[in-house]
Amino acid sequence: MKIIFLGAPGAGKGTQAEIVSERLGIPSISTGAIIREAIKTGTEMGMKARKYTESGALVPDEVVIGIIQERLAKPDCKNGFILDGFPRTVPQAEALDAMGVKLDVVLSIEVSDSAIVERMSGRRVCECGASYHTKYNPSKDGVHCDKCGKPLTIRRDDAPEVVESRLKVYHETTEPLKEFYAAKGILKIVEGQERVEDTTALTLGALGI
Ligand code: ADP
Ligand code: ZN
């Protein structure tokens, strides 16, 4: 299966994408995670991307399209994949079409802006890619990762002013993709719930798995 998760920053795409990835045995590919890793290790792409992510702007299309093209060529994508955070613009979606990718379903997780702001303020992340929330999805001791034991941190782009500009970018630039995929007849909407497992139930239902 080839699946795209759409949704505002903090809507819970990453969390649901991980769950579906394990269930279907296909990789979940997060452009945000790939970019953060590149920034951390200081690659050329990472150094270019940093100024965009820190202000809440999108990284230029050609950079992200290059990342995805390279990643989808890896053998683990042969039986399908989940894209979390790509495409985020219409030109990115057109590039995916041009690569010959035939999508099965595009799932949009809908959450109100006010709920997003509350969620981002409680988000805690781990180097290993795991993500938690102080209130809705705390790790066992609240400060360390359940998967690898490392201390949890707050993402720089989860600062309130940055969250506001990310939401603006989402509504102006990414939300039009819902129309793009609705026109292809593959868009499904899931209302994001307060509890992760409730959203998972709706997600699995929408995917028919
Ligand atoms: P979230 O979904 O919480 O906004 P991500 O982890 O998906 O965050 O992405 C973090 C940042 O990485 C984005 O704010 C953006 O700057 C950059 N980024 C990720 N994916 C893309 C993309 N497809 N196009 C452009 N920039 C991207
Ligand atoms: Zn971890």
- Burial, 183: exposed, middle or buried (Cβ in 10 Å; 0-12, 13-18, 19+)? exposed
59 lines ligand 1 (CB under 6 A): yes
Judge if the beta carbon of residue 64 lies within 6 A of ligand 1: yes
Q: Which residues surround ligand 2, an ion (CB under 5 A)?
A: 126, 128, 130, 145, 147-148
DSSP state of 168: H
pTM, entire model: 0.90
Dist. CA 203–CA 164, nearest whole Å:
26
pLDDT in the model for residue 161: 87
Q: What is the pLDDT of residues 103-120, one digit of tens each?
A: 999 999 999 999 999 889
Residue with the larger pLDDT of the pair 196 and 61: 61
Question: Tokens 């993500």 map to which residue?
Answer: 131
Q: How far is CA 25 from CA 15, 92, 175, 194, in A?
A: 15, 25, 28, 26
Above pLDDT 90, what percent of the chain?
91
Average pLDDT, the chain: 95
Instruction: Please state the separation of Cα 91 from the chain's center in Å.
Output: 18
